[in-house]
Amino acid sequence: MEEKHAKGVGLTANRFLTFYLQDEIYGVNIFDVKEIIAMMKTTPVPKTPHFIKGVMNLRGNIIPVVDMRIKFDMPEIEPQMYTSIVIITIDGKNIGFIVDKVEEVVNVDDENISLPPEFGSNVDTKFIKNMAKQKNKVIMILDLVALFGEDELGVVQALSKTA
Amino acid sequence: MSKEKLKQIFIEEATDIIEKMDIDILNYEESPSDKALLNEIFRGVHTLKGSANAFNFSRLGEFVHHFEDVLDFFRSSDVMPSASHVDLFLESVNLIKETLDFEISERSGQPEGYEACLNQIQQIISTLKTGQEQPPVTLTCNDLAQEFGNEIFDEPTFEKPDEASFLERLEAEEELYKIILTLDSDIYLRGFDHFLFFKNLSHVGRILSSFWSPIDACTLETFDSEQNYFKRVEIFYASQNSQAQIEEVFDFLEPQEYRIDAVPRPIVTQPIHNGVPLESLEAVLNAPVVKEETKEAKTSVAAPKTFLKIDAQKLDELFDSIGELVIAQNYLGENGKIKAVRDAEVTKTIENLSKITKLIQNRVMSLRMIPIRDTFEKMKRVVRDSSKKVGKPIHLILQGEDTEIDKTMVEALSDPLIHIIRNSIDHGIETDVEERRKAGKSDEGIVTLSAYHRGGNIIIEVKDDGRGINKEKVYQKALERGLIKPEDELSEAQIYNLIMQPGFSTADVISDLSGRGVGLDVVRTAIESVRGKVEIASVPNQGSTFLIILPLTLAIIDGMIVRSSEKIFIIPTLCIIESFRPAEEEVHVAGSKEEFVQLRSELLPIVRLNRVLELDAQKPNAWESTLVCIENQKGKFALLVDELVGRQQVVIKTLGEFFAKTEGVSGGAVMGNGEVALILNVEELY
């Protein structure tokens, strides 16, 4: 069971939380997800990039919230009934991601996971770690460290400096 | 437990011991007849020696061993250490500190001065030991004082009663308690009666012995039957009941008037020492109360107060949870639906909850608070060293050492205090004694270090009685250094504040102590990092005062809540001077952009909050908005906001690394409705 996939993805790592942004399904590793909460009011922080929706109060702790739609250059929409915030732990820090709708937790077999294509999605492929085939759907597995790892954080800070 | 872990504990302990030793030696210098103190120092060194050898810290062990010998000599002989001996003691403590560092980091070699100091120590031992052949025969007052460890009746002192013998008298399942009453003289008027109290006490246990302090006793002529002359009573008490049950007897005493300590049963045999219970009044009045200070007495009567060492992280977590509790409680209290329920039970419960929450909050808060005493005590050494170095005799006065302060602040406070004190001694106190005499001051320079509360802040004051700050000189220097422009109009306080600008130094000669021009701006940075503020006041020829103003805790600030562009922001009240709405004719526009407002005699620049934070491009008239006068490092300015919402204590939260460099915002706070409001960083607004 512990046998590793050629690309280093272990079996146990193949559980994903899937969610919708517009019509596309994305997934994040379930181990990175801390919790899912309903959309709540955020406080905008001045002089930060547009995709940073602001900060919110997660039971006494203040965490940043990112609007995934804006980050992925999709049209911004008002919160809907299913709009949720997925709280994800990156490098020990919690960040909230606003998504349209949380779908389910899926197990994907190793053979159904492949490298991302070079094109074919709205999203810059550097954020996509893998493609997972599940039944008749294709899930884009996000690489959160690439999304909001140190490099990106550096960019955020630089942006807020020049803004 | 692993060896590593043990080592860690040793290092922690050793650091504590060394720190305490430093202070003890300084105190010992002041009262060299205090054998108990010497014993205390000796014990510290002894403990250090044992542990050092256990960890194969041979260099430390060797050094401490010889140091112990010297101390042991003074401890067991009548010879008093001279000033140069005390100097050597302090030098030794320094070396112990350095040697420990060497041992910890496993560096080879020896710290500088190790050999020299060791030689000196050995020399002392050999000369002292030969001189000891003829013991001093003359009995002087000093010797008597030593023998009895005589401390005059300035405070109620008791001979140390023999706890061990009381413990022996305990029956099965009984616990020994030591009860100390500290009563007022008007206690009878409040219905208290020693006799009744003792009677009640004997219902819940056995009174083994009681000690009545005769310190406040009066003569027969002045005796007033309505006055209590026995203010301090110590009772040894055996009871099978719990402490809580015993405390019921104390119901009509205030909490500060009594203390009940459980005396634990001994694990090792207690050393026997003499202490006669004062049982009859005559005996009390006839015999002077003498404090026995044998070393055995000190060890066995170590107060049975217990302490817990808690990981600071855990405390912080608890603190966070309390923050959440307070927020949840606020939410409940402010919830309209709950308010609409007109039910006595519900209202009562909510009120009760609010009370309990407050109580918990205060208690948890107090966990982080420690007296500033230790920090102050450390300054004694600083004063002593600096005073020697510049050759000015200095007398240090400490006040308000019991003022409690947030633990994290204590650490940040030490360095700035050292800086300020050194600065006062070096620049403040006159070098020429004649100059002091002429001004009618004592030869000894006086530096006063005090701590107290004022209006929700803690103030730490460093005051010297030196020549004061030369305003003109400061102003000229600042001009030379280009820190200010000739056209700048500066208030007195602003001129004094210039000395805390980076790269400023007024000392004509750069001294070893201070005057490198890097001193005082470090002070300001350090104090500001804990959300504090430094103010300077000075009177020519009378001295200068440095005021360090600190918030009560780091976790909570008093904030002014303001609204700008439909958004809520918090300004720390500490930086706000006042808020006002100007008249139309008081607002001036320079050129096409810069706006100014006339506030009394000052002209302040107007900073629009919505513009600085780029919230929107609206530009309401200044005379229809609210201006908040704020002072930061660069001076005063008027912040334009839509309106003031209110004043509130808020729990500060960081926004995390994500927003670490966001300009103008220093943190966030969760408001009663669960939403986050941003705390403004006034330094970056203008």
A148 → chain B, closest CA residue: B658
Task: Phi first, then psi: give them for residue A16, nearest 5 degrees.
Answer: -125, 145
Binary contact (B662, A56; C-beta < 8 A): no
CA nearest neighbour of B263 among B197, B203, B174, B199: B174
- Residue found under tokens 């899926």: A106
**Among A43, A57, A60, whose Cβ lies nearest the Cβ of B320?**
A60
Tally A–B CB contacts below 8 A. 79
Query: Which of B77-86, B416-425, B505-514 bottoms out in mean pLDDT, i.e. has the lowest?
Result: B505-514
* ipTM value greater than 0.85: no
Given this model, what pLDDT does residue B553 score? Answer: 67
Return residues 511-540 of B near A (CB < 8 Å): none
Task: Phi first, then psi: give them for residue B546, nearest 5 degrees.
Answer: -105, 125
Given this model, what pLDDT does residue B629 score? Answer: 93
- Residue found under tokens 């419960």: B349
Span B5-18, pLDDT tens digits = 777 777 887 888 88
B321 vs A contacts (CB less than 8 Å): 60
Give the integer Cα–Cα distance in Å for B357 and A108. Answer: 48
Q: How far is CA B138 from CA B142, B144, B149, B630, in A?
A: 10, 11, 18, 70
HEC secondary structure over B55-116: CCCHHHHHHHHHHHHHHHHHHHCCCCCCHHHHHHHHHHHHHHHHHHHHHHCCCCCCCCCHHH
Given this model, what pLDDT does residue A157 score? Answer: 46
B324 vs A contacts (CB less than 8 Å): 59-60
Q: Name which of A39, A43, A51, A151 to mutate to probe chain B: the one with the most chain B Cβ atoms within 10 A of its Cβ.
A: A43
Do residues B89 and B25 make contact, with C-beta atoms less than 8 angstroms apart? yes
With cut-offs at 50, 70 and 90, classify the pLDDT of residue B161.
low
**Among A47, A55, A156, whose Cβ lies nearest the Cβ of B655?**
A55
What are the structure tokens assigned to B563, written together? 């609204």
Asked whether the predicted pLDDT for residue B115 surpasses 50, the reply is yes
Q: Which domains does chain A have, with CATH numbers?
A: 23-135 (2.40.50.180)
Sorted by sequence, the CB contacts under 8 Å of residue B673 that are 6+ apart come out as B331, B334
Amino acid at A113: I
Span B449-473, pLDDT tens digits = 999 887 667 889 999 988 888 888 8
B567 vs A contacts (CB less than 8 Å): 43-44
Q: In chain B, pLDDT over 70 holds for what percent of residues?
A: 85
B677 → chain A, closest CA residue: A43
Amino acid at B355: K
Binary contact (A43, B677; C-beta < 8 A): yes
B617/A contact by beta carbon, under 8 A: no
The alpha-helical segments, DSSP class H, found in B305-404 are: 312-334, 336-340, 344-367, 373-390
Do residues B238 and B169 make contact, with C-beta atoms less than 8 angstroms apart? yes
B678/A contact by beta carbon, under 8 A: yes
Give the integer Cα–Cα distance in Å for A50 and A150. Answer: 19
Binary contact (A161, B663; C-beta < 8 A): yes
A135: left (phi over 0), alpha (psi -120 to 50) or beta: left
CA distance B669 to chain A (A): 8
Given this model, what pLDDT does residue B287 score? Answer: 47
With cut-offs at 50, 70 and 90, classify the pLDDT of residue B194.
confident
* CB half-sphere exposure, B429, CA atoms < 13 A: 29
Q: In what order do the strands lie in the sheet with A15-21?
A: A101-107, A15-21, A24-29, A137-142, A128-134, A113-114
What is the residue-averaged pLDDT of chain B? 78
Do residues B562 and B615 make contact, with C-beta atoms less than 8 angstroms apart? no
Reduced to 3 states, what is the DSSP secondary structure of residue B644?
Answer: strand
Span B33-59, pLDDT tens digits = 787 888 888 888 888 887 777 777 888
Binary contact (A46, B658; C-beta < 8 A): no
Give the integer Cα–Cα distance in Å for B387 and B424. Answer: 11
CA distance A78 to chain B (A): 19
What are the structure tokens assigned to B260, written together? 């009940």
Do residues A101 and A56 make contact, with C-beta atoms less than 8 angstroms apart? no
B653/A contact by beta carbon, under 8 A: yes
Task: Phi first, then psi: give them for residue B5, nearest 5 degrees.
Answer: -65, -45
Binary contact (A153, B658; C-beta < 8 A): yes
What's the mean pLDDT in A39-67?
A: 88
A162/B contact by beta carbon, under 8 A: no
DSSP secondary structure of B440-491: T--SSEEEEEEEEEETTEEEEEEEE-SS---HHHHHHHHHHTTSS-TT----
Given this model, what pLDDT does residue A87 score? Answer: 94
B681 vs A contacts (CB less than 8 Å): none
A47/B contact by beta carbon, under 8 A: yes
Given this model, what pLDDT does residue B327 score? Answer: 73
What are the structure tokens assigned to B396, written together? 């240090």
CA nearest neighbour of B674 among A45, A87, A40: A40
DSSP secondary structure of A101-140: EEEEEEE--GGGEEPPPSSSSSS-GGGEEEEEEETTEEEE
Q: Name which of B321, B556, B659 to mutate to probe chain A: the one with the most chain A Cβ atoms within 10 A of its Cβ.
A: B659
Answer with the residue of higher pLDDT: A30 or B172: A30
Reduced to 3 states, what is the DSSP secondary structure of residue B312?
Answer: helix
CA nearest neighbour of A54 among B567, B321, B646: B567
Binary contact (B659, A55; C-beta < 8 A): yes
Binary contact (B668, A62; C-beta < 8 A): yes
Asked whether the predicted pLDDT for residue B159 surpasses 70, the reply is no
Q: How many other CB atoms are found less than 10 A from the CB of residue B642?
A: 18
Give the integer Cα–Cα distance in Å for A25 and A19. Answer: 6
Largest Cα–Cα distance in chain B? 93
B664/A contact by beta carbon, under 8 A: yes
Span B513-527, pLDDT tens digits = 444 445 677 788 888
Asked whether the predicted pLDDT for residue B149 surpasses 70, the reply is no
CA distance A120 to chain B (A): 31
A152 → chain B, closest CA residue: B658
Q: How many other CB atoms are found less than 10 A from the CB of residue B302?
A: 7
pTM for the model = 0.52
What are the structure tokens assigned to B415, written together? 């360095």
Return residues 89-128 of A near B (CB < 8 Å): 93, 95
CA distance B426 to chain A (A): 42
What's the mean pLDDT in B628-651?
A: 86
Binary contact (B614, A46; C-beta < 8 A): yes
A39/B contact by beta carbon, under 8 A: no
Q: Name which of A51, A55, A153 to mutate to probe chain B: the one with the most chain B Cβ atoms within 10 A of its Cβ.
A: A55
Binary contact (B659, A161; C-beta < 8 A): no
Query: Which of A32-36, B90-94, B198-202, B518-522 bottoms out in mean pLDDT, i.e. has the lowest?
Result: B518-522
Q: Name which of A47, A89, A91, A157 to mutate to probe chain B: the one with the most chain B Cβ atoms within 10 A of its Cβ.
A: A47
Binary contact (A157, B660; C-beta < 8 A): yes
Do residues B604 and B578 make contact, with C-beta atoms less than 8 angstroms apart? no
Binary contact (B614, A47; C-beta < 8 A): yes
Contacts 24+ apart (CB under 8 A), A112-117: A113/A5, A113/A7, A113/A9, A113/A14, A113/A141, A115/A7, A116/A140
B609 → chain A, closest CA residue: A46
Task: Phi first, then psi: give them for residue A121, nearest 5 degrees.
Answer: -140, 160
Binary contact (B670, A57; C-beta < 8 A): yes
Give kind and range of the element (H or E) at residue B253: none
Distance of CA B306 to the CA centre of its chain: 20
